[in-house]
Amino acid sequence: MMAIAEQAQEFGKANHTSSNQCGVTLMNNQNGYTIANVMANKPGVTIRELPSMIRVDGIGKIDFDMDEISEAVGFEFAPHDFEEVMSTHYGRMVVLDDHVLLFANPEDGAEYLGFDLKPVN
Protein backbone atom coordinates (compact mmCIF):
# COMPACT_ATOMS: atom_id res chain seq x y z
CA MET A 1 0.00 0.00 0.00
CA MET A 2 1.29 3.46 -0.93
CA ALA A 3 2.01 5.95 1.85
CA ILE A 4 -0.14 9.09 1.94
CA ALA A 5 2.76 11.30 0.82
CA GLU A 6 3.39 9.01 -2.17
CA GLN A 7 -0.30 9.05 -3.08
CA ALA A 8 -0.36 12.85 -2.96
CA GLN A 9 2.72 13.01 -5.17
CA GLU A 10 1.14 10.60 -7.69
CA PHE A 11 -2.10 12.61 -7.70
CA GLY A 12 -0.28 15.80 -8.63
CA LYS A 13 1.43 14.33 -11.70
CA ALA A 14 0.11 15.34 -15.10
CA ASN A 15 -0.88 12.58 -17.46
CA HIS A 16 -1.15 13.83 -21.04
CA THR A 17 -2.43 10.60 -22.55
CA SER A 18 -6.05 10.31 -23.61
CA SER A 19 -8.32 8.70 -21.02
CA ASN A 20 -10.99 8.01 -23.68
CA GLN A 21 -13.52 9.23 -21.12
CA CYS A 22 -16.20 11.87 -21.00
CA GLY A 23 -18.69 12.80 -18.34
CA VAL A 24 -20.83 15.23 -16.41
CA THR A 25 -21.25 16.46 -12.88
CA LEU A 26 -24.90 16.57 -11.86
CA MET A 27 -26.47 18.35 -8.92
CA ASN A 28 -27.23 15.90 -6.13
CA ASN A 29 -30.95 16.57 -6.16
CA GLN A 30 -34.01 14.56 -7.15
CA ASN A 31 -33.54 15.03 -10.92
CA GLY A 32 -29.78 14.47 -10.80
CA TYR A 33 -30.27 11.31 -8.78
CA THR A 34 -32.92 10.04 -11.20
CA ILE A 35 -30.69 10.71 -14.23
CA ALA A 36 -27.84 8.86 -12.53
CA ASN A 37 -30.14 5.89 -11.90
CA VAL A 38 -31.16 5.84 -15.58
CA MET A 39 -27.50 5.85 -16.64
CA ALA A 40 -26.23 3.39 -14.00
CA ASN A 41 -26.77 0.22 -16.03
CA LYS A 42 -25.49 1.50 -19.35
CA PRO A 43 -22.31 -0.18 -20.63
CA GLY A 44 -19.11 1.74 -19.88
CA VAL A 45 -20.82 4.23 -17.55
CA THR A 46 -19.72 4.74 -13.94
CA ILE A 47 -21.73 6.64 -11.34
CA ARG A 48 -20.13 8.17 -8.24
CA GLU A 49 -22.43 9.79 -5.72
CA LEU A 50 -20.70 12.43 -3.63
CA PRO A 51 -22.14 14.66 -0.87
CA SER A 52 -22.91 17.63 -3.12
CA MET A 53 -22.76 16.17 -6.62
CA ILE A 54 -23.07 13.06 -8.74
CA ARG A 55 -20.42 12.13 -11.30
CA VAL A 56 -21.47 10.29 -14.47
CA ASP A 57 -18.38 9.16 -16.37
CA GLY A 58 -18.22 7.02 -19.48
CA ILE A 59 -15.84 5.42 -21.92
CA GLY A 60 -15.89 6.81 -25.46
CA LYS A 61 -19.45 8.16 -25.65
CA ILE A 62 -22.36 8.79 -23.31
CA ASP A 63 -25.91 9.14 -24.64
CA PHE A 64 -28.43 10.82 -22.35
CA ASP A 65 -31.77 9.85 -23.93
CA MET A 66 -34.39 12.42 -22.97
CA ASP A 67 -37.25 9.92 -23.50
CA GLU A 68 -35.71 7.50 -20.98
CA ILE A 69 -35.07 10.32 -18.52
CA SER A 70 -38.59 11.73 -19.04
CA GLU A 71 -40.13 8.37 -18.21
CA ALA A 72 -38.03 8.09 -15.06
CA VAL A 73 -38.69 11.63 -13.74
CA GLY A 74 -42.38 11.51 -14.62
CA PHE A 75 -42.56 14.57 -16.88
CA GLU A 76 -41.20 15.72 -20.23
CA PHE A 77 -37.49 16.29 -19.69
CA ALA A 78 -35.72 18.25 -22.43
CA PRO A 79 -32.04 19.04 -23.05
CA HIS A 80 -32.45 22.48 -21.46
CA ASP A 81 -33.72 20.75 -18.29
CA PHE A 82 -30.67 18.49 -18.39
CA GLU A 83 -28.36 21.50 -18.69
CA GLU A 84 -29.95 23.03 -15.56
CA VAL A 85 -29.11 19.91 -13.52
CA MET A 86 -25.60 19.57 -15.00
CA SER A 87 -22.97 21.81 -13.47
CA THR A 88 -19.93 20.75 -15.52
CA HIS A 89 -18.96 18.37 -18.29
CA TYR A 90 -15.87 17.13 -20.05
CA GLY A 91 -15.66 15.81 -23.57
CA ARG A 92 -17.33 17.19 -26.68
CA MET A 93 -21.02 17.82 -26.02
CA VAL A 94 -23.65 17.64 -28.75
CA VAL A 95 -27.18 18.71 -27.83
CA LEU A 96 -29.97 17.36 -30.03
CA ASP A 97 -33.75 17.68 -29.61
CA ASP A 98 -34.05 14.34 -27.80
CA HIS A 99 -30.51 13.41 -26.75
CA VAL A 100 -27.47 14.95 -25.12
CA LEU A 101 -24.34 13.20 -26.38
CA LEU A 102 -20.83 13.41 -24.96
CA PHE A 103 -17.80 12.21 -26.90
CA ALA A 104 -14.38 11.56 -25.41
CA ASN A 105 -12.82 12.24 -28.82
CA PRO A 106 -14.26 15.16 -30.84
CA GLU A 107 -13.63 13.25 -34.07
CA ASP A 108 -16.23 10.67 -32.99
CA GLY A 109 -18.86 13.42 -33.03
CA ALA A 110 -17.76 14.81 -36.40
CA GLU A 111 -21.06 14.02 -38.14
CA TYR A 112 -22.95 16.16 -35.60
CA LEU A 113 -20.38 18.96 -35.43
CA GLY A 114 -19.70 19.52 -39.12
CA PHE A 115 -16.05 18.50 -38.87
CA ASP A 116 -14.31 17.82 -42.14
CA LEU A 117 -11.99 14.92 -41.29
CA LYS A 118 -10.28 14.91 -44.68
CA PRO A 119 -6.50 15.38 -44.54
CA VAL A 120 -5.25 18.82 -45.45
CA ASN A 121 -2.27 18.97 -47.83
Q: Residue 94's domain is classified under what CATH number?
A: 3.90.56.10
pLDDT at 16: 75
CA separation for the pair 56, 22 (Å, rounded): 9
Sheet bearing 21-27, strands edge to edge = 45-49, 53-59, 21-27, 86-90
Residue 61: in which H helix or E strand, if any?
A: strand 61-65
Find the domain containing 90 and state its range. Answer: 19-113
Domain count of the chain? Answer: 1
CA separation for the pair 59, 21 (Å, rounded): 5
> Does residue 7 lie in a domain region?
no
- The average confidence (pLDDT) of the chain is 88
> Does residue 52 lie in a domain region?
yes
pLDDT at 1: 53
pLDDT-derived band at 11 (thresholds 50, 70, 90) equals low
This prediction has a pTM of 0.81
pLDDT in tens, 91-100: 999 999 999 9
pLDDT in tens, 54-104: 999 999 999 999 999 999 999 999 999 999 999 999 999 999 999 999 999
